[in-house]
Amino acid sequence: MVLEKKGLSLKSGDQIFAEVGAELLNKFLSRRPERGGNVGIITGEQGSGKTTLKLLFAKFLISQMPDICFWRGRFLAQWHRFPSWEEKVRILVHKDDNIEFLKLPYDGSPATKLEIPDLVTYESAEDILRLARKDKLNVIYEPVSYRISEELVQDVKDRTGKIIPPDKLEEEKPAYFWFELLYRLLTRKDRRWYSVFIDEVDDIFPETPRGAQFILQDWVKDIIKDLRKGWVSLIMSTHTLKNVDWRIRTKIPTRIYLRGAEVEQGSIVRKQVVLALRDGYAVIEWGRFGGFRFKPLPPVDYDVLVDRK
């Protein structure tokens, strides 16, 4: 065609949308030392496929990429939807926590204890790095309570100039474990690729933090670029972006919108594009924006409830 010979494309808008989406998705999941890790957040209403998409990403990274994948365990679990989870999932629980896994069949029959083939205990965030398996999805259940370490307190002071008040150092929160894990990833002495999947990230980085967590989240804002340089990727999800601390939100370069997602003010993605999304479709924004499709995972016929004694 004459136009194509002049460097002009006759491709439809839908074709370009899909091509850009594929290019951005490939960039997000690729691993190149000079680029480092990637940081992105998936948003959409309940049931829009956030967990499905994260599990698909994890499956790809485990099988095709060099990443060691960490997954935040929830008490209504989703990791059992990972294909062949019995062979492909390692569960890590704190040594002081008494946890039982219950299988809840969809047919209404009574709950039964679910045996976990690969369950290990850890004592510290450093243990997590030692116990993680490259060939498995490493599901971490944060401790019931956690107090931040002196090393992390010092790193916060060194990087932000802020001092956590002594009385705040006595606070014990499950969420603090994730700050400690990020610190250990940041200061580790190796060059292996890691991906950290955090569901309901607004639980960990809420918009209105209190106490020591306010300072810790300011520290996270400052270390995101250094995590990326250290080959660490963060893949997060939330129902609503505005529930995540704006200081951290502004440091996340990649957005993936699913059905029912709220588009942030200033986004280059038009709200009408996201409103038109159906199940299995996504819009990815990273400087530009495009779309892609993803398939559902094989169905399961039960839920997993995690019961802390």
Q: Element (H or E) spanning 137, and its range? A: strand 137-141
| pLDDT over threshold 90, residue 108 | yes
Tell me what pLDDT residue 167 has.
86
Q: Taking residues 132-152, report their average pLDDT.
A: 96
Q: Taking residues 163-175, report their average pLDDT.
A: 90
Q: Report angle CA 212, 187, 222 to the nearest 5 degrees.
A: 50
Tell me what pLDDT residue 155 has.
98
Q: Which two tokens stand for residue 275?
A: 């409103």
| pLDDT over threshold 60, residue 4 | no
Local structure of 138: helix, strand or coil: strand
What are the residue ranges of helices labelled H in 32-124?
Answer: 50-64, 85-88
20 burial via Cβ count (<10 Å: 0-12, 13-18, 19+): middle
Per residue, what are the HEC states of 206-267?
Answer: ECCCCCHHHHHHHHHHHHHHHHHHCCEEEEEEECCHHHECHHHHCCCCEEEECCCCCCCCCC
Q: Taking residues 141-152, report their average pLDDT.
A: 95
pLDDT in tens, 253-305: 999 999 999 999 899 999 999 999 999 999 999 999 999 999 999 999 999 99
Full-model pTM: 0.94
Q: Taking residues 22-38, report their average pLDDT.
A: 97
Tell me what pLDDT residue 1 has.
40
Q: Taking residues 154-172, report their average pLDDT.
A: 92
pLDDT in tens, 39-83: 999 999 999 999 999 999 999 999 999 999 999 999 999 999 999
How many other CB atoms are there within 10 angstroms of residue 143's CB atom? 22
Q: Which two tokens stand for residue 219?
A: 């520290």
Rg (CA), the chain: 20
| Cα–Cα nearest to 283, from 15, 19, 21, 12 | 21
Tell me what pLDDT residue 304 has.
98
| Cα–Cα nearest to 229, from 181, 185, 260, 259 | 185
Q: In whole angstroms, what is the distance from residue 113 CA to residue 304 CA?
A: 10
Asked if 46 and 256 touch (Cβ cutoff 8 Å), the reply is no
Tell me what pLDDT residue 213 has.
95
Asked if 120 and 89 touch (Cβ cutoff 8 Å), the reply is no
Local structure of 13: helix, strand or coil: helix
